[in-house]
Amino acid sequence: MKIFKNPLDLESALSFMIFIKEGSRTQDLIFWPHVLNDQIQEREEWDMKAKVYFTKEITPEKVVEMYQALGVELPGKVAVKVHSGEKGNQNFLRPEFWRPMVEKVQGTIVECNTAYGDASGGVRDHTESHLKLLEEHGWTKYFDVDLMDAEGPDVVWPISHGKILKENHLGKNIENYDSMLVLAHFKGHPMGGYGGALKQLSIGCASRAGKALIHSGGKTDDRYETWNQHASKTAFPEAMADAAASVVEHFKGRIAFINVMKNLSVDCDCCVVAEDPCMNDIGILASTDPVAIDQACMDLVIHSDDPGKEHFMERVNSRNGIHTIEAAEELGIGTREYELIQL
């Protein structure tokens, strides 16, 4: 008699029944209905949780190991989205750190021009000066680099269920890629509260005009006027989630995310003068779910005993940063429920 006391894999049980030769007694298969129902429900709840892999060790080699833990193979031409760092910024993760990972997928580093203009002291808002900085920071020494909106026109992708935006404007070269690997430096942000996978998908992939649309909550694509019409603390994170959703939808099933919790400043890598890190390094996370990985990073900060977390979370909460994660989940591009698997 075969008793399926743990029939979580109902498909296996059914396959077993089909496999029985003619003449076998079906009564030899006994299912415990209450156990079956409870465990099917348990499995459904478990399956809804995203897997997020985590290690405390932060090395270039560990980044590759975390990617391999995902068990995915990104097909074709791979766009690798990084934050290449503003001129003068001391916290961004250098190309040498990412080099083994980028070489593993034979990827191309992709970036887009910024919208914040010369007033901030940055140089990444113009193609010529942006390309020069990419060279100065060493990205072109190791990788092929594609400034996706160096030449127009932008590509416009619809956002069917967007709360704020109905379309996303991106550098047109994004359509030259078959898959995407998002390598995010998790840290704070002066406007979004924090920067992680979702910000890389939204602001990071948007063209200069697209960034203006996100920052203004869809009011204008003018990079100067957007600062006079900036979206509210509710609309801005929702606009970021909208833009991120269009990128996830485009690369659906062909996208992966790695967040590195290192140099944890309250400021972004786009800041010319950034505050020094206020927390100790935490680790590397990897997932195929951008919502889950950002939520997991946030939880690791919240549950940390690092005294600097209060300062970090003040930045996040004062900008309503967690609402980006909430809004992205509501759009269906991921879940905040996850299983953290420490390697």
Could you read off the pLDDT of 284-298 as tens digits, one per residue? 999 999 999 999 999
Contact 243, 159 (CB under 8 A): yes
Sign of CA dihedral 57, 58, 63, 66: positive
Domain match, 27 and 140 both:
no
The structure tokens 């619809």 sit at 158
CA 303 to mean position of chain CA atoms: 21
Query: Given the DSSP bridges, would you call strands 179-185 and 283-287 parallel, antiparallel or unpaired?
Result: unpaired
Domain match, 89 and 119 both:
yes
Contact 318, 74 (CB under 8 A): no
Domain match, 168 and 291 both:
yes
Contact 63, 102 (CB under 8 A): no
Residue 258 has what pLDDT? 99
Entry pTM: 0.86
Residue 11 has what pLDDT? 40
Q: Please say which residue of 29, 44, 59 terminates a domain.
A: 44
- Of 292, 294, 288, nearest to 260 (Cα)? 294
CA dist., res. 103 & res. 131, Å (int): 21
Instruction: Say how many domains are in the chain.
Output: 2
Could you tell me the residue range of the domain that residue 106 belongs to?
50-342
Structure tokens that stand for 28 in this block: 């030899």
Domain match, 12 and 100 both:
no
Task: Please name every residue paired with 181 in a beta bridge, in sequence order, or none if there are none.
Answer: 80, 256
Residue 117 has what pLDDT? 67
Residue 269 has what pLDDT? 96
Residue 48 has what pLDDT? 80
CATH of the domain at 116: 3.40.50
The residue ranges of the chain whose pLDDT is under 50 are 1-46
Sign of CA dihedral 33, 37, 42, 43: positive
State the number of CA atoms in the 13 A half-sphere of 32 facing the CB.
11
Domain match, 16 and 81 both:
no
Q: Which residues contact 270 (CB under 8 A, 6 or more apart)?
A: 83, 86, 89, 114, 116, 122, 124
Domain match, 136 and 182 both:
yes
End-to-end distance of the chain based on CA atoms, in angstroms? Answer: 39
The structure tokens 């991120």 sit at 244
